Amino acid sequence: MSLFKKLFGSKQKQEASGTGTDQRGKFMPEIKLPTDEKFTINFKKNGGKFLYCDSIEEIYDCFNSILSENNWTQEQVCCIDSKLSTTFQKYNFSKSNTCQNATLLLSPCENLVADNGAILISSNQIKESKLNDLPDNFIIFATTSQLVDTIGEGLRGIKNKNKNQIPTNITTIKHFSIKEENDFLTYGSSSKNLYLLLLEDL
């Protein structure tokens, strides 16, 4: 499954056949997009930066490129999640669990929500830290199997995976441009400069 092939391929087919949304009557039902395509469109609309990878080596290459592009060092990266720290064990990250002096948080997530292009996270990833207390810059590591259509579906998944102890501090990040904080529509939400490293696992 290639998100980019689906996304760009479907547009080309529409243009070639002339059956885009402009040709549809106003009473026709809306075309239901695949979950991955819908997430990609909404995530980019929210200002997120998206890197699709076929292998863990590609993930490392993209991660290095992000650090280089922003002049960030490995020591400025905080990774609270122990499993992800193991995946990125060749890097020299900040050892602090609070990310107090870090520039960047590297984190997994619970789910990627297609309906609004949001990232669903919980105490499994960020402990009891509030979003405002975490760095302004996030790199989220996720897999294609974590894509869900709605927040409700994501919450049910969290409940099913954690039957013994449901995580706390469940929240979504859906504004990925720091300047948006001045917009009254995003008042009270925490905007993050966010990169998504998405690994194909289906």
Q: Is 105 part of a structural domain of the chain?
A: yes
Residue 41 CA, chain-centre distance (Å), reads 12
Report pLDDT for 16: 46
Report pLDDT for 181: 46
Q: Is 25 part of a structural domain of the chain?
A: no
First-to-final CA distance of the chain:
7
Report pLDDT for 163: 85
Report pLDDT for 158: 93
Q: Is 23 part of a structural domain of the chain?
A: no
One pLDDT digit (tens) per residue for the chain, 202 residues = 555 555 545 444 444 444 454 566 777 777 788 999 999 999 999 999 999 999 999 999 999 999 999 999 998 999 999 899 999 999 988 777 778 889 999 999 999 999 999 999 999 999 998 898 899 999 999 999 999 999 999 999 999 988 888 999 999 999 887 654 444 444 445 689 999 999 999 7
Q: Is 11 part of a structural domain of the chain?
A: no
Number of domains forming the structure of the chain: 1
Q: Is 15 part of a structural domain of the chain?
A: no
Report pLDDT for 167: 92
Q: Is 66 part of a structural domain of the chain?
A: yes
Query: How many CB atoms sit inside 10 A of residue 91's CB?
Result: 16
Domain residue limits at 90: 32-199
Report pLDDT for 175: 87
Q: In angstroms, what CA-CA distances link 148 with 25, 38, 112, 140, 169?
A: 29, 10, 6, 16, 19
Q: In angstroms, what CA-CA distances link 70 with 64, 65, 66?
A: 10, 9, 6
Q: What's the CATH code of the domain at 152?
A: 3.40.50.10420
pTM of the shown model: 0.80
Report pLDDT for 197: 97
Report pLDDT for 139: 96
Q: Is 27 part of a structural domain of the chain?
A: no
Report pLDDT for 177: 73
* Of 7, 65, 12, 15, nearest in space to 39 by CA: 7
